[in-house]
A and B are shown apart, each in its own frame.
Chain A
C-alpha cells in the first residue's frame, strides 16, 4: 500500500485560522497537495525574491537624480547571452515544477480502489447534498459520515459524484481538493482522513441563487461510532404515537412529494430524506442548527432562513407548522 505512505516535508499549519484551512490537511489527497504547494511556494518565493530585488535595485539605482540632467544614458539594444540565460533557467524551473505536479496528479487521480473501500454516492441538488451508501442501504442528506482511516488497515472512502440539476463542486479543504458534480458526467474522488472530527466545506461551483448556503459537513467517526451510525440509519423511521396531528398534516400536504420518511407514505425524492432527521445537527444544508424552533421557522417559511431555496412555504399556520415540526422531531 505504498500510496498511503508519504514523506511530508512540512508540518501542517494549525487549523485555528479557519476550520476550512487548505494548509491543515488531515487526509492523504489534501496532504499530498499541501506538500506540493509548499514546494511550489518555495520555488515561486525564491523567484519573487530574485526578481523583486532586481526591480528594487533598478528603481533606486537608476532613477534620474538631477532634473537638469539632459544627457541621454548609453543606449543598449540587447544581448544574446543574457536573453539565453533568462530563457534557459526559467525553462528548467518549469520542467521541475511540472514533474512535481505530474507526480501528485498521478498519485491522487490514479490511486487504485481497494476492495474494502467504502463507496458513497454524492448527489448535488440545488441547494443540498444527498448521500447514498449502496453497500449499507443508507440514504441521508447534508451530513456525510465516514470512518476514520486506520493506517494499519487502510480503508479509504471513494465518492462517486453526480448532479441532479446544475453543476456543483464538493470541497472540504482539509480532506481533499475540490471535484465538480456535473450532470451527465459522473466524477469520483477519494479521502482517507486520519483524524476523527467534523470537517466543514461548501459547494464551490456556482449553482444558482442559494449557492452560498449549500454547506458541507463531513463527520469522520471512529470505526465503532461509524458502525453504530450505519445501524441506526438503516432502520425504518421510529415514529412516536403522540404526534398524529403533525403526521397527518405532513402526509396531507405536498411535503410527501419531495421528502421520504421510510415506512410511511412519504416517498418523494426531490428533497432530503427525513427518515432520521434528528440524527443530524443541522437543517437546510447546514444553514441552521437543528432545533425545534428553527424547524418550525423553516417549515413555516423556508425563504426566511435560506432565500431562493427550492422548498416552498406550504401556507401552513404557525400552529400547523409547529405540529409538523413536533412530528419531525420524533424521527431519530
Chain B
C-alpha cells in the first residue's frame, strides 16, 4: 500500500479496526502528527527507564558506604541515565513536538520530507534499542561487563580497548552514531519545512516563536551532531582499525576527544533548551492573555544564543590545563550568553506584566520554569567564572546546576507543553486536579532533590562516586536528595495516569479550549490527516486573535 492510499484511506473511510492493521498504519506512517506522537511515546518510555536508573543511584547514595548496588552497576547506571535522558528522552520528545506542531502552526499539511521524517524516527528508535541491547549483548568477552560504564561523555582513554574490553563501549558508540544520523535528518527536515512550507502571508517575521526557535535548534543540531558523529567514527577506527586518535598509549590525545565531545555537548544543551523556550513562548502569552512582549528581540536573542553557544564549549574543560588566555576567552564567551538569555527571561516577565494570568497547569509549569531557569542561569554564571569552576566542576554542584537546567527548565516546560497540547493531540481535556497534584508533587520533589544537591558539591563531593565515607558532612544532604526523588517519581506516575485516564475519559476538548491564537487551534482536535481543509492565510503573528477581534486586529500594529 502506498503512502498516498493510506492518507486517502484515512480521509474517506472509518479507522481500521483490527489491531494488526492499526499497528501497520502506525509503523508505516509518514504523517507528521503520528510520527510526532511516536517520538513522544518513545521518549516517555525512555523517561521511565532513565528515571529508574536515577532512582537506583539515589538509593545507593542515600547513606554512606551503602551496598545497594556494586560499583560496576552504579557506573553503568550513571552512564545509561545520562545517555538515555539526553539522546533518547529530551531530543526525541523535542523532535516529536516539533514534528507535530510546526506544520500545524505554519499552516502546512505535513513536513517537507515525510519519508525522511519516518526514516529519522526509526533510526533514533533503533539507536535507543541498540543502546539497551548492550545489557544482553555487551559482554563480548567473558567478564568484560555488559552495559557501557564510561560516563555519558566517555572521556578517552577510558573508551580504548585497553580500559574498555568487550563491546559495551561499541554499543554506546554505535547507538549514538545511528541516532545521530536520525537527528540530522530531522533537523534538515525542520529547516526545510520552516523555510519552504509556510502558508500564505506568513513571512519569517510573522511565524509563531515556536517555529523560529525550532529553526534555530535544527541549525544547531546540524552543527553540533556532526562533530559528535565524526568523533564516534574516530573512536570506532581506534577500537577496531588500529587508529590512534584518542589512544594515549600510542601518542593519541585524550584532550582532542574532550574538544570533539564538548563542541557537540554544549550546543546540545541549547538544542534541548531552545525548544523548551519555544513552549514557554507559546504558553505564557496565551495564559497571560497578552501578545508576546518584544517578538523581534526574542527572535534575535534566540539566534544570538545559537551563535554564541557554538563558542563556549571549553568551559567544560577549565580544569584540563588550557592556557590562561584560553580559559579567559571561554569565561567571556560563556558569560556573554547570559545577556540574550536574560533578555528572554525579562521578555517573558514583561509578557505576564499587566496580563490576566490564568494559572492552569501549563502556566503553573511555565511559571516554575521561569523561577528555576533564573537560578540555573545564575549558578551557570558562577561556573562560568573559571576559577570558581575549578572548585565546582565535576562536583555535585555541577550536577545540581545542569539538572536545574534540564529538569527545572526543560522538563517543567515540557510538562507544561504536554498539558497544553494534550487536548489538541487527543481531542480530550486532561484532568486539572490530577495535573495540579502532579505539579505540586513534582515541584516539591524537584526542590528537595536539586536545591540540596548544590550543598555536597560545595562540601567537596565529586560526581560519579558510587559511595562515600561518613564524616565528610555529606550524609544528611544525600538523604534529603534521595527523599525528593520519590516525590518526583510519584509526580511522574500521576502524570502518566492522568494522560491515560484523560485519553479515555477526559472531557471532549473542542478545537480551541484555551482561546489561543496560533493556527493549530483553528483545526479539529485531533487534527485530520490533512490538517486544514483549506490552507489558511494569515496577516499577523496571531491569526486567531485577528479572527476573534476584528475590531482590533494585530496586523494594524505589526
Contact = CB atoms under 8 A, between A and B. Distances in A.
B557 A77 contact: yes
Nearest to A182: B254
A185 interface: yes
Interface in B338-394: 338-339, 342-343, 345-347, 349-350, 352-359, 367, 370-371, 374-375, 378-379, 381-382, 384-394
Nearest to A19: B472
A185 B254 contact: yes
A119 interface: no
Given A40-B381, A55-B370, A75-B290, A179 B390 contact: yes
B471 interface: yes
A54 interface: yes
Interface residues of B, number: 98
Nearest to A16: B473
A96 to B, nearest CB: 10
Per DSSP, are chain A's interface residues mostly helix, strand or loop, or mixed?
mixed
A244 interface: no
Contacts of A100: 385
A106 B324 contact: yes
A168 to B, nearest CB: 11
Contact of A105 (B296, B328, B350): B328
A211 B473 CA distance: 20
Contacts of A94: 335-336, 338-339
A177 B249 contact: no
Contacts, number: 279
B248 A184 contact: yes
A110 B350 CA distance: 45
A178 to B, nearest CB: 5
B253 interface: yes
Interface string A172-196: 0100111110111111100000000
A90 interface: yes
Contact of B290 (A76, A90, A91, A179): A76
Nearest to B371: A55
Given A97-B335, A101-B386, A22 B374 contact: no
Nearest to B248: A183
B459 A21 contact: yes
Interface residues of A, number: 90
Interface string A102-145: 10111011100000000000000000000000000000000000
A189 to B, nearest CB: 9
Contacts of A77: 291, 293-295, 557-558
Interface string B310-344: 00000000011101100110011001101100110
Interface string A204-229: 11111111110100000000000000
A144 B384 CA distance: 31
23 contacts: A17-B459, A18-B460, A22-B459, A51-B374, A59-B352, A64-B356, A73-B290, A74-B354, A75-B291, A78-B294, A83-B347, A97-B384, A98-B335, A101-B386, A105-B327, A105-B331, A169-B394, A171-B394, A180-B320, A202-B465, A208-B163, A212-B467, A307-B70
Given A40-B382, A64-B359, A184-B251, 16 more contacts: A21-B459, A37-B382, A62-B353, A72-B356, A73-B356, A76-B293, A79-B294, A101-B384, A105-B327, A108-B387, A185-B254, A187-B320, A200-B472, A202-B462, A208-B158, A209-B75
Q: Which 8 A-B pairs have the closest CB atoms?
A: A177-B390, A20-B460, A18-B473, A212-B465, A187-B321, A18-B459, A183-B248, A78-B294
Interface of A: 17-23, 30, 32-33, 36-37, 40-41, 44, 47-48, 51-52, 54-55, 58-59, 62-65, 69, 72-79, 82-83, 86-87, 90-91, 94, 97-98, 100-102, 104-106, 108-110, 161, 165-167, 169, 171, 173, 176-180, 182-188, 200-213, 215, 307-308
